[in-house]
């Protein structure tokens, strides 16, 4: 049986950390990415360089520059390596950009994900993990956000594509019997993070004395989730494919559990923090004060995200717990080193 694990989006923030851990733990890893220019390509290339350096010792890593939309190339890769486990992290990310350029989301997140599902079907992949997002909770006001809540009201095209992925995965799992696990990530941060997300934007603004826009006049909160916690949970999920839930409650149409091998889990810190508290913590760590401009809410933005971790805790016995204080310390240390 093939021992290959295939990770899409390997030059991205989460994909890079996952591949690094998998290579170190001696999995055989195939990484694919189209290295698009949504944000600084240098950061993506640097991440890939690090993966190649680890590989000098392990020889367990292969990178292929491929777009998920290119089905023929994907089929060749699946044919050649026959991965038993696939982790789909490649996507057009970002809520705000989805208002400007929805086409990128339809291509990568809908067509690209469909191609992954087809390859999993044809090559009888045993376990598919795929990235969803806390943004599927849209305008929900019941907190914390639970996988059992209705998520039928996305407020951005990005969220709509992620919810669509969950529906597509469910039908493929039901029709073709392979295990699928969807992961609703909550604001992941840490070293090698994404320049389009709040932690990087804020750190850059504070250090370089740029004006920092505080949306919704600061009345927002996030379950900031440290990258190491995310990776630990992803590795556990790789080793524990979804199975049908014998206690499945058919009266609850939103149930996170399922009669087929498809499950959806939140991965988010259990402590949601206000935007201004977050900025204050960055200021303290950097020893600098932010220049703040208080502005209204942006279209598409969710106001508060808080993760209910009951289901992931029940399934693998843990959930993201790293304190924001500790995580910010590690993140800022990396940020200063990387950007000199
Ligand atoms: N980081 C977070 O807080 C967060 C939160 C919710 C959901 N997610 C989801 O988790 C996944 C990983 O997020 P990330 O933060 O690492 O994002 P990222 O943008 O850093 O990584 C995604 C990678 O996928 C690649 N990619 C995009 N479209 C592609 C395509 N069509 N073909 C091949 N490669 C393609 C990009 O070049 C990029 O390197 C994404 O699906 C994202 O939507 C992330």
Question: Concatenated DSSP letters for 37-63?
Answer: SSS-HHHHHHHHHHHHHHHHHH--EEE
Strand pairing category for 61-65 and 211-214: unpaired
pLDDT value for 132: 98
d(CA 255, CA 249): 7
Atom from ligand 1 closest to the CA of residue 225: 3
Percent share of the chain, pLDDT over 70: 97
- Please write the tens of the pLDDT for every residue from 137-191: 998 989 999 999 999 999 999 999 999 999 999 999 999 999 999 999 999 999 9
Distance 60 CA to ligand 1 centre (A): 23
In which band, very low, low, confident or very high, does the pLDDT at 2 lie, cut at 50, 70 and 90?
low
d(CA 228, CA 120): 27
Strand pairing category for 127-133 and 28-33: unpaired
Asked if residue 293 belongs to a domain, the reply is no
Percent share of the chain, pLDDT over 90: 88
Please count the structural domains in the chain.
Answer: 1
Q: Please list the active-site residues.
A: 158
Q: Does the Cβ of 154 fall within 6 Å of ligand 1?
A: no
- Please write the tens of the pLDDT for every residue from 257-268: 677 899 999 999
Asked if residue 277 belongs to a domain, the reply is no
Residues 6+ apart with CB under 8 A from 282: 199, 202, 203, 206, 290, 328, 332
Q: Does the Cβ of 64 fall within 6 Å of ligand 1?
A: no
Residue 320 in tokens = 């993201």
Full-model pTM:
0.96
pLDDT at 1 over 60: no
Q: What is the residue-averaged pLDDT of the chain? A: 94
pLDDT value for 260: 86
Please state, as a whole number, how many other Cβ atoms lie within 10 Å of the Cβ of residue 33.
Answer: 25
- Please write the tens of the pLDDT for every residue from 210-242: 999 999 999 999 999 999 999 999 999 999 999
pLDDT value for 259: 76
Residue owning the nearest CA to atom 20 of ligand 1: 12
pLDDT value for 61: 95
Residue owning the nearest CA to atom 42 of ligand 1: 93
- Please write the tens of the pLDDT for every residue from 132-146: 999 999 989 899 999
Q: Does the Cβ of 14 fall within 6 Å of ligand 1?
A: yes
Q: Is the dihedral of CA 219, 163, 8, 317 positive or negative?
A: positive
Atom from ligand 1 closest to the CA of residue 36: 37
Distance 305 CA to ligand 1 centre (A): 19
Q: Domain range holding 175? A: 4-194+225-269+306-321
Distance 178 CA to ligand 1 centre (A): 23
Distance 33 CA to ligand 1 centre (A): 9
In which band, very low, low, confident or very high, does the pLDDT at 247 lie, cut at 50, 70 and 90?
confident
Q: Is the dihedral of CA 25, 27, 28, 32 positive or negative?
A: negative
- Please write the tens of the pLDDT for every residue from 90-122: 999 999 899 999 999 999 999 999 999 999 999
Asked if residue 253 belongs to a domain, the reply is yes
In which band, very low, low, confident or very high, does the pLDDT at 340 lie, cut at 50, 70 and 90?
confident
- DSSP for 178-226 reads -EEEEEEE--EESTT--TTSHHHHHHHHHHTTPEEEEGGGG--EE--EE
Asked if residue 332 belongs to a domain, the reply is no
Distance 246 CA to ligand 1 centre (A): 33
pLDDT value for 17: 98
Asked if residue 289 belongs to a domain, the reply is no
d(CA 183, CA 185): 6
Asked if residue 137 belongs to a domain, the reply is yes
Q: Does the Cβ of 115 fall within 6 Å of ligand 1?
A: no
* CATH number of the domain to which 189 belongs: 3.40.50.720
pLDDT value for 268: 97
pLDDT value for 291: 96
Q: Does the Cβ of 188 fall within 6 Å of ligand 1?
A: yes
d(CA 303, CA 286): 26
- Please write the tens of the pLDDT for every residue from 266-323: 999 989 999 999 999 999 999 999 999 999 998 888 889 999 999 999 999 999 999 9
- What do you get for the CA distance between the two ends of the chain, in Å? 46
Mutate to test the pocket of ligand 1, among 6, 7, 11, 12 (most ligand atoms within 8 A of CB): 12
- Please write the tens of the pLDDT for every residue from 43-88: 999 999 999 998 777 789 999 999 999 999 999 999 999 999 999 9
Q: Does the Cβ of 68 fall within 6 Å of ligand 1?
A: yes
Asked if residue 18 belongs to a domain, the reply is yes
């Amino acid at each position: 049986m093939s021992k290959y694990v295939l990770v899409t989006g390997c030059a991205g923030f989460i994909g890079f950390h996952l591949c690094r851990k998998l290579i170190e733990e001696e999995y055989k890893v195939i990484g694919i990415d189209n290295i698009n220019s949504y944000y600084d390509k240098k950061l993506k290339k640097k991440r890939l360089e690090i993966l190649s350096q680890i590989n000098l010792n392990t020889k367990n890593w292969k990178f292929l520059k491929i777009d998920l939309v290119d089905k023929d190339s994907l089929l060749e890769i699946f044919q050649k390596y026959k991965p038993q486990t696939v982790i789909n992290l490649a996507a057009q990310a970002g809520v705000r950009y989805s208002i400007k350029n929805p086409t990128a989301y339809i291509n990568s997140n809908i067509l690209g994900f469909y191609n992954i599902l087809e390859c999993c079907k044809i090559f009888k992949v045993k376990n598919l993990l795929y990235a969803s997002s806390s943004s599927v909770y849209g305008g929900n006001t019941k907190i914390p956000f639970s996988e059992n809540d209705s998520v039928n009201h996305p407020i951005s095209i990005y969220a709509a594509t992620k919810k669509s992925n969950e529906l597509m995965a469910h039908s493929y799992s039901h029709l073709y019997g392979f295990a699928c696990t969807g992961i609703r990530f909550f604001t992941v941060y840490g070293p090698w993070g994404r320049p389009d997300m709040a932690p990087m934007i804020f750190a850059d603004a504070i250090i370089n004395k740029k004006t920092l826009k505080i949306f919704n006049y600061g009345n927002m909160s996030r379950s900031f989730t440290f990258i190491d916690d995310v990776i630990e949970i992803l590795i556990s999920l790789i080793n524990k494919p979804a199975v049908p839930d014998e206690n499945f409650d058919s009266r609850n149409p939103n149930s996170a559990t399922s009669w087929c091998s498809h499950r959806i889990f939140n991965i988010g810190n259990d402590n949601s923090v206000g935007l201004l508290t977050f900025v204050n913590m960055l200021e303290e760590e950097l020893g600098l004060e932010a220049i703040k401009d208080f502005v209204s809410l942006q279209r598409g933005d969710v106001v508060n995200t808080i993760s209910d971790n009951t289901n992931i805790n029940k399934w693998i016995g843990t959930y993201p717990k790293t304190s924001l204080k500790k995580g910010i310390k590690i993140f800022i240390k990396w940020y200063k080193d990387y950007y000199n």
